[in-house]
């Protein structure tokens, strides 16, 4: 029996990394403030600065690899695509390049950069939050704040379902492959193999739900008593609370300033 492992449950959960050990609600608050601030600053330089900031924070939190492996897909898919569409079709006066219906102007490039910076900043903050916050910690804090354990289970279970569906899809694809069906190759071939799998995959997931709910009932999930917790998180310290207040006040000032600029 590894008592070192067991003893970790006797203490509030800590990883030793300052960023990861922030309270999940603090992280959520910071994610929203930092992710939404570019919408009010309305400057792509600020937006891209936030993107760089999130990359640095991910490295400091020790999750750069997992953060960036997901983030670059967003950068490529949404960033480049949105920029190209905006740059090519947004209206503007100072024409740089024109070909058939495409008209790239100085204004359209600025507009493209602006929208891309907003999307990337918000998605960056969200992905970073997911990467540095274990969902069980987040739902634990939600329950501490009075959210029903049913809601917290639904959140956790939904995240797990994504993983389960991926694994089940892989199993079905492998069995298809064993039957001689081509599951590898170009995108079209992969799509041909994958699309017929979607139906059984979803039906299996639905069929499993009934047994899953019985299994949870067997664990006294709805027992009429107050639940306790094996893993607990440390309470947010004063420094953390001050940090949140400062960020929230700055964000409030930003919103007020932006509204004032619109009105005046």
Partner 1 sequence: MGFIELKNVTYTYPLAKEPALRNMTCSLERGKFYGVIGENAGGKTTFCNLLRGLIPHFYIGELVGEATIDGQDIREVDIDVLSTRMGYIFQNPFTQISGVRKTVFEEIALGLENLGVAKEEMIEKVIEIAELLKIENLLQNNPNRLSGGQRQRVAFASIMAMDTDVFVIDEPTSQLDPEGTESIFEIIHTLKERGKTIILVEHKVDLLAEYADEVIAIQGGEIIAEGKTKEVLSDLTLLERGVMLPQSVMLNQQLNNHGIHLPEVPVTKSECIRLLAERVG
Applying CB under 8 A, the span of 19-27, 73-81, 102-110, 213-221 interacting with partner 1 comes to 213-221
Q: Burial-class residue 58 by CB neighbours within 10 Å (0-12, 13-18, 19+).
A: buried
Q: Does 1 bind partner 1 (CB under 8 A)?
A: yes
Q: Does 148 bind partner 1 (CB under 8 A)?
A: no
Q: Are 92 and 108 in contact, with CB atoms under 8 Å apart?
A: yes
Supply the minimum distance, in Å, between the C-beta of residue 112 and partner 1: 42
In the list 215, 250, 255, 259, the residue contacting partner 1 (rule: CB under 8 A) is 215
**What 8-state DSSP symbol labels residue 225?**
S
Which of 166/257 has CB closer to partner 1?
Answer: 166
Supply the minimum distance, in Å, between the C-beta of residue 61 and partner 1: 19
Applying CB under 8 A, the span of 2-10, 65-73, 100-108, 233-241 interacting with partner 1 comes to 2-10
In the list 18, 187, 214, 264, the residue contacting partner 1 (rule: CB under 8 A) is 214
Task: State both tokens at 9.
Answer: 């449950």
Q: Does 5 bind partner 1 (CB under 8 A)?
A: yes
Strands (E), the chain: 95-99, 102-105
User: Which conformational region is residue 91 in: left (phi greater than 0), alpha (psi within -120 to 50 degrees), or beta?
Assistant: beta
In the list 77, 97, 171, 217, the residue contacting partner 1 (rule: CB under 8 A) is 217
Task: State both tokens at 244.
Answer: 């949140």
Q: Does 136 bind partner 1 (CB under 8 A)?
A: yes
Residue appearing with tokens 């081509």: 182
CA atoms within 13 A on the CB side of 178: 6
Residue appearing with tokens 């071939």: 189
Which of 106/227 has CB closer to partner 1?
Answer: 227
Site string for partner 1, 218-257 (x = CB under 8 A): xxxxxxxxxxxxxxx-------------------------
In degrees to the nearest 10, what's the CA dihedral of 244, 246, 252, 254? -120
Q: Does 145 bind partner 1 (CB under 8 A)?
A: no
Q: How far, in Å, are 70, 139, 180 from residue 171 at the CA level? A: 23, 30, 14
Task: State both tokens at 65.
Answer: 């690899």
Give the footprint of partner 1 on this chain (CB under 8 A): 1-2, 5-6, 9-10, 134, 136, 153, 156-157, 160-161, 163-164, 208, 211-232
């Amino acid at each position: 029996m590894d008592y070192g492992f067991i003893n970790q449950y006797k203490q509030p959960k800590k990883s030793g990394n300052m960023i990861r050990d922030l309270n999940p609600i603090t992280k959520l608050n910071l994610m929203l403030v930092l992710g939404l601030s570019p919408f009010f600053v309305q400057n792509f330089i600020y937006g891209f600065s936030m993107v760089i900031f999130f990359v640095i924070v991910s490295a400091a939190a020790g999750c750069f690899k997992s953060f960036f492996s997901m983030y670059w897909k967003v950068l490529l898919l949404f960033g480049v695509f949105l920029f190209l569409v905006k740059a090519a079709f947004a209206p503007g006066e100072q024409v740089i390049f024109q070909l058939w219906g495409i008209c790239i102007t100085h204004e359209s490039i600025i507009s493209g950069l602006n929208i891309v910076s907003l999307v990337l900043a918000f998605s960056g903050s969200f992905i970073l939050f997911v990467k540095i916050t274990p969902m069980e910690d987040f739902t634990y804090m939600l329950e501490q704040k009075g959210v029903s354990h049913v809601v917290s289970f639904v959140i956790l279970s939904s995240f797990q379902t994504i993983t389960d569906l991926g694994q089940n899809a892989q199993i079905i694809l492998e069995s298809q492959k064993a039957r001689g069906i081509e599951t590898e190759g170009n995108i079209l071939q992969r799509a041909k193999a994958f699309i017929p799998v979607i139906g059984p995959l979803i039906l299996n997931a639905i069929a499993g739900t009934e047994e899953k709910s019985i299994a949870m009932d067997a664990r006294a999930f709805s027992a009429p008593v107050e639940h306790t917790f094996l893993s607990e998180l440390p309470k947010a310290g004063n420094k953390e609370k001050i940090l949140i207040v400062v960020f929230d006040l700055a964000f409030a000032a930003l919103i007020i300033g932006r509204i004032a600029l619109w009105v005046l």
